[in-house]
């Protein structure tokens, strides 16, 4: 990123502060329907990553290396795609439409996942990002928890299907 771009983003993010110290921009100012699906996926990736890390604290609270290793496996594109396939029929038409937008977004696919899995995981992350930015935290939690359980069972060979 060029320095002038960084400076612009810094001003946009931190430069506009109310007299009480709160930022002038709130989630209510963001219209998720107008955001590019890769931007939604960017936010959704962070949402699911934080969800998984927080949930893992129920099982381990002292060994960061263990937490990081297990968390990294759980948020992999392959396992996200697997979980999405398991829950997709339970989603609303609007949610499936957001996933389709995310799947169809053009992005560079890493070598660690197939094109199909990477595109599916991008759709999954776009959905979580959309719901989070909409303020629908109950639905984010429902979907993230369902996927967390599916992925956990897959990793421990207690497959649901």
* Residue 45 falls in the annotated catalytic set: yes
Structure tokens at 24: 């002038």
pLDDT tens digit sequence for 99-133: 999 999 888 777 778 889 989 999 999 999 999 99
* For the chain, percent of residues with pLDDT exceeding 70: 79
| Residue among 48, 36, 57 at smallest CA distance from 124 | 48
pLDDT tens, 11-25?
Answer: 666 555 556 655 555
Distance CA 83, CA 89 (A): 11
Catalytic residue among 29, 33, 45, 97: 45
Domains of the chain: 35-155 (1.10.1520.10)
Q: Which two three-digit tokens encode residue 40?
A: 């939604």
């Amino acid at each position: 990123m060029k320095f002038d771009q960084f400076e612009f983003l810094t001003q946009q993010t931190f430069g506009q502060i109310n007299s009480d110290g709160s930022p002038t921009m709130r989630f209510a100012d963001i219209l998720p329907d107008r955001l590019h699906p890769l931007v939604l996926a960017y936010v959704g990736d962070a949402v699911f990553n934080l969800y998984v890390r927080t949930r893992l604290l129920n099982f381990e609270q002292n060994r960061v290396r263990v937490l990081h290793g297990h968390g990294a496996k759980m948020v992999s594109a392959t396992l996200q795609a697997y979980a999405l396939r398991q829950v997709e029929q339970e989603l609303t038409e609007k949610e499936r439409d957001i996933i389709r937008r995310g799947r169809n977004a053009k992005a560079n696919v890493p070598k660690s996942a197939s094109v199909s899995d990477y595109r599916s995981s991008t759709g999954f992350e776009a959905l979580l990002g959309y719901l989070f930015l909409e303020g629908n935290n109950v639905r984010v939690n429902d979907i993230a928890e369902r996927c967390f359980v599916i992925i956990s069972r897959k990793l421990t060979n207690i497959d649901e299907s």
